[in-house]
Chains A and B, each alone.
Chain A
Amino acid sequence: MPRLNRLILAHLWTAFAAFGGALILGLWQMWVRSPFAAPLSSSENYFISVTAHGSAMGYVLTTFFIMGFGYFVAETALKRPVPFPRLAWAGFYAGIVGVALVVGTVVSGRATVLFTFYPPLTASPWFYVGLVLVVVSSWVWCALMLIGMGQWKRENPGKSVPLAMFATTANAVLWLWTTVGVAAEILFVMLPAAFGLTEAVDVGLTRTLFSWTLHAIVYFWLIPAYIAFYTMAPQKAGGRLYSDMMARISFVAFLIYGLPVGLHHLFMDPHPATGFKAVQMVLTVLVAVPTLLTVFTVCASMEIAGRLRGGKGLLGWVGALPWKEPLVLATGLSFFMLWFGGFGGLINMSYGMNAMVHNTSWVTAHFHMIFGGSVVIMYFAIAYEIWPKLTGRAAPCVAHQRVQLWSWAIGMMILSLPWHLLGMFGQWRRVAQFDYSDPTISWWAPWMTASLIGGAILVASGALFIWNLARFHIADRAQRLDAAPMEPMQYAVALHPGSTPAALNGFRLWNILVLVLMTAAYALPIAHSFIVNPPHALVHRVNG
């Protein structure tokens, strides 16, 4: 068992508790929007629920899962203790206090600004303080990952950092860069406004700052899934990692191209000039590259496994893969959803076509498919993979894990395909109730009902997930594996483990490149706000 297993479990259970609550809220929201009357339905409750659902899924599930999994990787991939465990615990408790503040302010209706808070709407200051604490907690984690990797490199001169840890640290570096935008927005604009020190804000500037964070945060969420694709799934399938080098290049590409593209979220805003948008649009095309590389390397790694297991012919290896293994199954389902998610993303990024889908259900559908589908299903699979190591018990029932993964993928398809369709036909976003008696939108009703059913399947699947994990803890003492000690965590070995160039064994060069790209992408748009100095908008407090 990892030494830090209590710390890791604390993080992961916090993540999944938030997930469970947010999932139920999501279903209720679908019900309110559907043609059927929902209990407790009101605009106020709806937007409180949307704020809570978004914050819990986007900030709590992700951040705490990534931190918990990161500590696990740091200990098992580097095979050395994580440095400063007390600091790690302090960070955890800071994050918990932050979550409590966010939950308290949101539930009491003092922070109904959605999780992307739209200034000049201004929530209770304690909402922002809570978010700051969560971010600070994650910065502690970033520091520990960097220190851990640095210490390992000093102890193992000339050796290449194990891929799982290299990728985890890449994510920590990415996250430090990513949070700069939102931290600047909260510290310099929102907190002064919320505490009543300022009465007006530059709305365009706050949007530019938030966009800095808005794209890269998605890669922060997604990298654990990619770590599982590269280092865990091929191992589970009995194969080898096709290429360690290609994997490193992909993670580095996420780091450098994930950041200078956030303005693509503001394509429909008036304030960024066309040229600023065009630069980041070009860079956005490049962010497709690491995912395209990943598809190849992971498929090739799985092909090795399939062929080692006797698969023949062009595609015979696919059938020969051990699909009964939850991790292998989840990888397959995740890739399947990635096709839809990737296609949707290409439309969003396409500048002109963005006008067709901006702020429609298409966007909601897109990120539910790619994050809620492709990424979160890998969070489940990672949990199933590491829970035996954390608790020292074998999985009570693997068949239930498979049922859970299948039902999640099916539920997500049923939920989000109708949204894609309705969004393409102009169903606008963030609306509590639609007037289905209007003849132009009455045809939406059956599709909204289908989505509602998808949501119900997701809630059932989520409940099964929690139950599958809870059973590890309540399992019979007899099922403990003391007799046969649990095998340590194994990560996939490269087909041809060679030496790694120094550039791909650290982040110095890449940090410089990020700095250059971020300056090119953001210096002018931010400076522009100060140069044109637009009239500010009066703060609208919603902390009722």
Chain B
Amino acid sequence: MAIDEISVAKSERRWATAMAGVSAVMLGAILYATLGLHLNPPSNVELIDPATIHVSGEFAEENLGTRLEPTGGIVTRLVTTQFSFSPACVVVPQDTPVTIRVVSPDVIHGIMVVGTNVNTMVIPGYVSRVRTRFTEVGEMLMPCHEFCGLGHSQMIAKVRVVPVSEFKPDADGRAHCAAP
């Protein structure tokens, strides 16, 4: 073969340098997104006892769904259980920052809102939290995306995004999905 040992080594070094460059560019882009734009996956080390979720407090039945908080923020609270969401439909205003908080009293679930980047696992013992903004008006599917038992396929809820003018919380700040 015409190619000698030194050329082999040289060609390899050139390729390795090029690939190191490619990797560095990718890493740079990702680091820019995380450190510069604060785009991070939904970590939230906030504990909650799965056994007492229903009893009282933030995730008691009457506190679930979307609420305009006294502080002015919009928070949507959900409980995922085998095999349903509570509530099964939530309403949110368009183009407004929304914080979604989800817990599970039983096993692992996962939620996503189809067509958006809302996506998190729901791990019993922790509160999952996603901050987002829904840009388009309409009804979207919010399925459970993690195997949670034999009824997993049937576990689907809905998110109804309405124009800000139609988002009418009650005196308590709560908003419910109107009957369609």
Q: Does B56 contact A (CB under 8 A)?
A: no
Contact across chains for B45 and A289 when beta carbons are under 8 A apart:
no
Q: Does B164 contact A (CB under 8 A)?
A: no
The answer to whether residues A359 and B119 also contact, given A293-B19, A535-B49 and a CB cut-off of 8 A, is: yes
Nearest-CB residue, chain A, relative to B103:
A270
Q: Give, as a whole number of angstroms, the nearest-CB distance from A356 to chain B.
A: 6
Contact across chains for B47 and A542 when beta carbons are under 8 A apart:
no
Give complex CA distance A120, B145 in Å: 17
Contact across chains for A274 and B41 when beta carbons are under 8 A apart:
yes
Contact across chains for B45 and A532 when beta carbons are under 8 A apart:
yes
Contact across chains for B30 and A281 when beta carbons are under 8 A apart:
yes
Contact across chains for B125 and A286 when beta carbons are under 8 A apart:
no
Q: Does B137 contact A (CB under 8 A)?
A: no
The answer to whether residues A202 and B150 also contact, given A359-B145, A538-B50 and a CB cut-off of 8 A, is: no
Contact across chains for B43 and A428 when beta carbons are under 8 A apart:
no
Segment with Cβ contacts to B, from A176-184, A323-331, A344-352, A446-454 = A344-352
Contact across chains for B107 and A285 when beta carbons are under 8 A apart:
no
Contact across chains for B19 and A440 when beta carbons are under 8 A apart:
no
Chain A contacts for B11, CB-based, 8 A: 300
Q: Does A537 contact B (CB under 8 A)?
A: yes
Q: Does B120 contact A (CB under 8 A)?
A: yes
Q: Does A315 contact B (CB under 8 A)?
A: no
Give complex CA distance A352, B19 in Å: 22
Interface size band for A: 35 or more
Interface residues of A in 306-361 (CB under 8 A from B): 308, 346, 350-352, 354-356, 358-360
Chain A contacts for B39, CB-based, 8 A: 351-352
Q: Does A267 contact B (CB under 8 A)?
A: yes
Chain B contacts for A281, CB-based, 8 A: 30, 34
Contact across chains for A285 and B115 when beta carbons are under 8 A apart:
no
Chain A contacts for B34, CB-based, 8 A: 278, 281, 351-352
Give complex CA distance A293, B12 in Å: 8
Q: Give, as a whole number of angstroms, the nearest-CB distance from B95 to chain A.
A: 19
Give complex CA distance A120, B124 in Å: 9
Q: Give, as a whole number of angstroms, the nearest-CB distance from B150 to chain A.
A: 5
Contact across chains for B119 and A268 when beta carbons are under 8 A apart:
yes
Give complex CA distance A351, B110 in Å: 17
Q: Does A304 contact B (CB under 8 A)?
A: yes
Q: Does A536 contact B (CB under 8 A)?
A: yes
Q: What string of 1s and 0s marks CB contacts (under 8 Å) between A272-289 and chain B?
A: 111001100110011011
Interface residues of A in 19-72 (CB under 8 A from B): 43-44, 46-47
Q: Does A466 contact B (CB under 8 A)?
A: no
Nearest-CB residue, chain B, relative to A356:
B117
Q: Does A292 contact B (CB under 8 A)?
A: yes
Q: Give, as a whole number of angstroms, the nearest-CB distance from A307 to chain B.
A: 8
Contact across chains for B30 and A351 when beta carbons are under 8 A apart:
yes
Contact across chains for B147 and A114 when beta carbons are under 8 A apart:
yes
Give complex CA distance A428, B144 in Å: 8
Give complex CA distance A108, B149 in Å: 16
Contact across chains for A355 and B23 when beta carbons are under 8 A apart:
no
Contact across chains for A270 and B27 when beta carbons are under 8 A apart:
no
Nearest-CB residue, chain B, relative to A43:
B150
Q: Does A400 contact B (CB under 8 A)?
A: no
Chain A contacts for B125, CB-based, 8 A: 202-204, 271, 534-537
The answer to whether residues A242 and B8 also contact, given A293-B16, A352-B33 and a CB cut-off of 8 A, is: yes
Q: Does B94 contact A (CB under 8 A)?
A: no
Chain B contacts for A355, CB-based, 8 A: 41-42, 117-119
Contact across chains for A538 and B141 when beta carbons are under 8 A apart:
no
Contact across chains for A537 and B107 when beta carbons are under 8 A apart:
yes
Chain A contacts for B153, CB-based, 8 A: 43, 46, 431-434
Give complex CA distance A267, B33 in Å: 15
Contact across chains for A270 and B43 when beta carbons are under 8 A apart:
yes
Nearest-CB residue, chain B, relative to A117:
B147
Chain B contacts for A495, CB-based, 8 A: 1, 3, 8
Nearest-CB residue, chain B, relative to A288:
B23
Q: Give, as a whole number of angstroms, the nearest-CB distance from A80 to chain B.
A: 30
Chain A contacts for B119, CB-based, 8 A: 268, 355-356, 358-359
Q: Does B15 contact A (CB under 8 A)?
A: yes
Q: What string of 1s and 0s marks CB contacts (under 8 Å) between A420-438 and chain B?
A: 0000011011111110001
The answer to whether residues A270 and B8 also contact, given A112-B150, A537-B125 and a CB cut-off of 8 A, is: no
Interface residues of B in 116-132 (CB under 8 A from A): 117-129
Chain A contacts for B20, CB-based, 8 A: 289
Chain A contacts for B15, CB-based, 8 A: 293, 296
Nearest-CB residue, chain B, relative to A354:
B41
Chain B contacts for A433, CB-based, 8 A: 153
Interface residues of B in 7-30 (CB under 8 A from A): 8-9, 11-12, 15-16, 19-20, 22-23, 26-27, 30
Point out the residue from A269, A431, A496 that lies within 8 Å of B8, measured CB to CB.
A496
The answer to whether residues A430 and B146 also contact, given A204-B125, A270-B129, A296-B12 and a CB cut-off of 8 A, is: yes
Point out the residue from B27, B114, B123, B147 that lies within 8 Å of A285, measured CB to CB.
B27
Give complex CA distance A532, B11 in Å: 51
Nearest-CB residue, chain A, relative to B124:
A537
Chain B contacts for A298, CB-based, 8 A: none
Q: What string of 1s and 0s marks CB contacts (under 8 Å) between B62-89 and chain A?
A: 0000000000000000000010000000
Q: Does B112 contact A (CB under 8 A)?
A: yes
Q: Give, as a whole number of angstroms, the nearest-CB distance from A525 to chain B.
A: 11
Q: Does A498 contact B (CB under 8 A)?
A: yes
Q: A269-B43, A269-B121, A532-B47 are in contact. List 13 more A-B contacts (CB 8 A).
A: A43-B151, A43-B152, A118-B148, A270-B42, A270-B46, A273-B43, A289-B20, A352-B41, A354-B41, A426-B114, A426-B141, A434-B153, A540-B149
Q: List 12 A-B contacts (CB under 8 A).
A: A47-B152, A204-B123, A267-B41, A270-B126, A288-B23, A293-B15, A351-B30, A433-B153, A440-B140, A441-B141, A532-B45, A536-B125
- 8 closest A-B pairs by CB: A426-B114, A537-B124, A534-B125, A359-B145, A428-B145, A535-B49, A267-B41, A292-B19
Chain A residues close to B by CB (< 8 Å): 43-44, 46-47, 112-114, 118-121, 202-204, 207, 240, 242-243, 246, 266-274, 277-278, 281-282, 285-286, 288-289, 292-293, 296-297, 300, 304, 308, 346, 350-352, 354-356, 358-360, 425-426, 428-434, 438, 440-441, 495-496, 498, 528, 532, 534-538, 540, 542
